[in-house]
Chains A and B, each alone.
Chain A
C-alpha cells in the first residue's frame, strides 16, 4: 500500500442554535459584566479614512419571514483596498480600521446595521481589480453550516461589470441578489434571502 496523506478532517459544523447571541454578543442579550463591549460593535473610529456608509438589511427565510435570531458578520478592505490582516502582504492597512463587524440584528425586526466605510479595490488572484465588496457570513438556528456571500454596491456599475467573480456567475439573473441598493447618501440596503424567490447567491469558498 502507498503512504498515507495523514491529514485531519475539519471539525464538522453544527448550527449556531437559538442562543448564539449569548456567546457572541452577550451584552446584547442582557448578560452584562463579563465583557465591556460586544466584539465587532465598531468597525471604524473618527480617524478612519474613507467615505462613511451605513449598511442595513434583513435575512429572510423561505417563507419570507425575517430571521430574528441570526448573527451576521462582515469583513472588508479599507479605503485603499488593503485588509487589516497579516495575511495581506501588500501593505499596511489603515490603523484606524478594523475591517470586521458583527451584528445580532434587531431583536424585534431582525434588521442588522453596520456603520463603516466604503471599501477600496482589492485584486483578484490574476491581478484584475475586484469591484468594491463586503464579505458576509450568516449563521442562525436552522443553518447547519455558516453561509458565505458577498455584497457589491449599486453605484459601482462599471466596476461590477468588470468584476471577475460576478463575471463567472452563469445565471446572470441572480447577480442582483449580490448588489446592495443605494437608498440615500451613504446608505445601502442589502437583504439576504436564504431560500426561494430571489434567493441570494451563496458561495463555497
Chain B
C-alpha cells in the first residue's frame, strides 16, 4: 500500500514531502519516545506520533520509514517540514488521536 492510499482513505493532511507520497507502507509504529522508535521500529513502518521536533525526520530517514503522521492536530515545525521535503518523507497530519488513527491503519493493513 502506498502513502497516498492512506492519505485518501483517512483524509490526512499533507504538510510536506509530497514527492514521497508513493512510498510503500508495509507496517506501522506508534510511539512518542524517539529513542524507542530508533531502537524498535521496522523499516517500512508509517510512524504515528505527536512529536513535532525535527529529530523525527532524522529518525524516519534512518529507519527507512515511508511517512510520519502527526496526530491530535499538532503541526510540524519549519525545520521538520524542510527536512521532510529534502528526504521525500511526507509529514501528514490528522486531528485524530494516535490510538484512533493507529487502529484504522492497522485494520487497513490487515486487509491487504
Q: Is chain B a partner of chain A in the same complex? A: no
